[in-house]
Structure 1
């Protein structure tokens, strides 16, 4: 019997956990991906986005596909709104790797692609307001990683003195967010 594989590309909204339900009573008031769509049994997120992050998330029922995308170190691109006018020095530090905490130990991130965006990206307004310019300047950067430690981008920008205020994943490999809207769910035959 051939097992049916289901693959989805979704725009994860801010405030949702990258899981489908919880038996944990502490999480009863949380929002889960299962509220967006009637996903099939056995569905899993390929790389998670934390509750405060939003954007492109791939889902599959194929464990091998999930492992492939994670183990092959597929590029993941994020747009991050950071607190302050980010400096060239901070961008260079991010590019070459910075030390962050991971599982109670110090970890130096791998070199990655980072640049300051010259224009504010065209993204949907976030459901929870972000502080405004009265509280000081902000900058948008693009950062492309091929690793994915827990809350890595947030830890990296904080390590160079520019904490992340908003984080949106816009690309995984060749799959892009493009014109998707918050909460969109698109079923696809294959990812790559």
Structure 2
């Protein structure tokens, strides 16, 4: 690899592990606020957090499309894609495919057709991180980021809701997410967990 190729790869890995993660975190909170019964369930059972993140990635993937170049002529749905042509794989649409997901336009952390355990691997049912050999190399790091931050914030934000007058807007084409997410909440009065030696 040339120095230019190495530099481009490093930039791509850093971008893949940061920008989609912050968008996914914001979208996670949006969807849980929009579905208060599921928010309550995640608060009650932190083990559901991974499922909530996986469903957020399926429902509103932060990366909406992936460009690919055809190595040879290929036919899709009766249309020939010539060798060398650039094809844009629309992840957002694929993740709402009714042939792949039941009620695809419904946000449901309990859906049985997602497979939470494999949602951050190359065998994921959704395409938020790509698939197979072309899975995003930042997927595991992004999962660690999102789970760590969400697990820290959720217990601290009681009665979390949108700020008065807030209007939700999204922006972006290649990557897509909220312009902002203005929230109001009551700081949790729960005591911080004690350490193993009894100190707070």
Q: TM-score, normalised by structure 1?
A: 0.27
Q: Specify which structure has the higher proportion of strand.
A: 1
Q: Specify which structure has the higher proportion of helix.
A: 2
Bigger radius of gyration among the two = 2
Q: Which has the higher contact order (CA 8 A, sep 6+)?
A: 1
